[in-house]
Amino acid sequence: MSPARRLFAVACAVVLPIAPAAAQGWIEHPRGAIEKVRSVVQVTVTGRVARVTVEEWFRNVGALLDEGSYLYPLPGEAVFSDFSLWQGDRELKGEPMDAAQARAIYEEIVRRKRDPALIELAGHGLLRARVFPIGPGETRKITLRYTQMLDRVGDAWRFRYTAGTGAGAATSSSFRMQVDSGAWFGEPYSPTHRLSASRRDDRIELTLADSSTRGDLELFLPLARILVGMSLVASQPVGEDGFFMLLLAPGRVEAPSMHRDLVAVLDVSGSMSGDKLDQAKAALVQLLGTLRSGDRFRVVTFGGSVRRYAAGWTAGSADAVRAAQDWVRRLDTDGGTNIAGALGEAFAEPPAEGGLGVVVFLTDGMATVGETDPERIADQAERSRGVFRVFAFGIGYDVNTYLLDRLTERARGVTEYLRPGGDIEQAVAALASKVASPVLTDLAVRADGVELYDLQPRSLPDLFGGDELVVFGRYRGAGSPKGVPDGPGERVVTVTGRRSGREERFSTGGRFGSEQPGTDYIPQLWAARKAGALSSDIRLHGANPEIVTELKRLALRYGILTAYTSYLVQEPSVAARGIPLPAAMPRDQAGVGAVQQSQRERRLANSYNLDAVVVTAAPLADSLAAAPGDRAGRSRRVGGRLFVWRDSAWTDIAHGDSLRVVRVAAFSDAYFALLRALPELAQPAALEPAVLVAGRRVSIKIEAGGQTTWTDGELERLVREFRG
């Protein structure tokens, strides 16, 4: 085989310091006749080593014999001494290429192909091989095998895979990971993709919940600990405060848990009659069945009047629980809906010192008896709640979403809405399973020598066994740690909490103050959570200039779509005039729309991975659907920004008419120099045929025309103005 047909490996040669690849396995073919039609990725993790096998199928859809060049980006952690590329039963050998050669070939390919997506190949080791001639209609397979060492991040292993967005819609793909010694690990977590996980024979099997999801995959395997495992990943954009993600994972070994004081509050009004009440009673019986020796409980029902099972607390002995369950089974409906009276009774007896007080509140309607004003009911409940955690279930669409969300927003709980006919028993059982194993309450986090701020969620919820808590936030002041004069390094991050009346502390190392590759999802998830929290604040407490300004800034900078900001995409000039937002306690507090709005805000404020953020754009994408003959898909979310199709270019919604625009010719010398100086432009540069990206004091437009070179100092000034 001639050298021209051999594999070229750019092992650890960084071509340009730009974003990770968006197209895993790309075919450079002269006539465009060879297409990738299928991709299968299988990973086996043993200890800290991941063995990766990638199989890709290519088809010649043209009428002539064709041959393409195959480019494949490898992660920076890959062990290049153990990789091979196979075509059929033939192993293709590689030749090393130094960085200067790689960069020259790389930029020449981009210029010739006129394909800006190739920019995203930079920053990876690069494999290049000839795909042997494929006849018309024929399909060939290439198999790539390599070994990758997993990063240790606190108490977790981290795996990265450049799954890619470059494949066409017709491409079939799958991802499967098998983790040996599954008892070593807690529940896997991915901030970028939704996972399906199963355990069998001390192994964990992982697949993607949605095989159509594309983009770089980031996956954490928390190491099992007796109590709490911690992992922290930080992201430091140039010229601004940093972002961090903290993963807290209780171990699979059950630790001695704290005692619980449980109050179950059940709506038995006339509207609950029939199947709803039967399900609710069965759910309540199951909830009481989770009580253990040392726990206590109370049961409160409300209709036109308020009833209680017994005065004061009842010890959670087996006999007492059975008696209470029998009492619940005999319950029947009772007229109207006295929510205020029920809440007053629920909070009348405080929980024991050092215990976990939990109120579970089930209702299907709005207040009709006693105090009926939801604002006054919510205010009174907040004053009398004390240290109780409140979890609410709204059954059907006739519930008052404003009231239920007010009840839980500051009570370290959550409201779950069940559609008519939904499974009440299953929903309450899931909560019962969760609160059965409280690990830590009253959580707080700090880092030595680093200021952590703007945490999302703002009030850290309690940590329960088998549950992962993911916290996003900002940080500042990450200089060199004591005794390390040459730059940022690891700092000690500590989480404190209370268990059985005692303070517990857990610590891990966190690396702050340096730019880490592959962490661009952290700022966007932080922004999504904050936007959800601000939207909820506006709905529940009313708009004020500070909240409006902050929500507008998030919408423009990170492209986060909410019920209050989505129209900025359609009319960006409105941003300069202020955003009209509804007052507190909106008129439509019940109904399908109110329930859906509350659920959207909750999903956004609790975003665990990028899929949840992208979903929020779906209603907007539908509303902006292109007319026949127009460019399909009028909005694009790229690199943490939102772009809309306007004036024949993809336009950053953060761009305002007052910003000066610098035009740069695509694929020119100025273009490549710009992307090296501003690597954050790499992903937006892939939008064709033109893209306008907003900076702090100047916007940059990449198009067919524009300047092709930079004068002395011109690019440096542009970078300063763009980053502000």
pLDDT of 664: 95
Binned at pLDDT 50, 70 and 90, residue 488 comes out as low
Fold match flag (228-255+439-519 vs 260-436): no
Higher pLDDT, 362 or 570: 362
For residue 57, the cross-strand partners are 38, 141
Which residues, at least 6 apart from 687, have a Cβ–Cβ distance to it below 8 Å?
A: 116, 636, 638, 643, 650
- pLDDT, residue 127, reads 60
d(CA 36, CA 59): 6
Cβ burial 125-144 (10 Å sphere, 16+ → b, else e): bbbbbbbeebeeeeebebeb
pLDDT at residue 212 greater than cutoff 70: no
Give residue limits of the domains in the chain.
3-222, 228-255+439-519, 260-436, 522-623, 635-723
> Mean of the pLDDT values across residues 452-473?
86
Q: What is the CATH number of domain 228-255+439-519?
A: 2.60.40
Is 347 exposed, middle or buried (CB count within 10 Å of its CB: 0-12, 13-18, 19+)? Answer: buried
Q: How confident is the model at residue 160 (pLDDT cuts 50, 70, 90)?
A: confident
- CA dist 480 → 241, 338, 453, 477, 514 (Å): 15, 59, 19, 9, 10
Range scoring the smallest mean pLDDT among 120-129, 219-228, 276-285, 425-434: 120-129
Please state which CATH number belongs to domain 260-436. 3.40.50.410
**Nearest in space to 370 (alpha carbons), one of 303, 301, 273:** 303
Mean pLDDT estimate for the chain:
76
Q: What is the mean pLDDT of residues 237-248?
A: 83
- Overall average pLDDT of the 513-538 stretch: 80
Report the percent of the chain where pLDDT is more than 70.
Answer: 71
Q: What is the mean pLDDT of residues 150-178?
A: 72
Q: What is the pLDDT of residue 483?
A: 41
Rounded CA gap, 86 and 591, in Å? Answer: 59
363: β partners: 394
**Over 60: is that where the pLDDT of 31 sits?**
no
Pick the CATH number of 3-222 from 2.60.40, 1.20.950, 3.90.1070, 1.10.10: 2.60.40
- pLDDT at residue number 301: 94
Coil, helix or strand for 653? coil
Return the SS3 of 534: helix
Could you tell me where the beta strands, DSSP code E, fall in 550-680? 635-638, 641-646, 649-652, 660-665
| pLDDT attached to residue 514 | 65
Model pLDDT for residues 651-683, shown as the tens digit of each residue: 888 888 888 999 999 888 899 899 888 888 888
Helices and strands in the chain, H and E counts? 15, 37
Q: What is the pLDDT of residue 299?
A: 96
Residues 6+ apart with CB under 8 A from 381: 343, 347, 406, 407
Give me the percent of the chain exceeding a pLDDT of 90: 20
CB–CB of 377/339 below 8 Å? yes
Cα separation, 465 vs 328, whole angstroms: 28
Read off the pLDDT of each residue in 387-406 and give the average, rounded to a whole number: 87
Question: 155, 248 in Cβ contact below 8 A?
Answer: no
Parallel, antiparallel or unpaired: strands 78-87 and 217-222: unpaired
Please name the residues in contact with 7: beta carbons below 8 A apart, sequence gap of 6 or more.
85, 92, 93, 94, 95, 127, 128, 129
Q: pLDDT at position 538, please? A: 81
Does the pLDDT of residue 388 top 90, yes or no?
Answer: yes
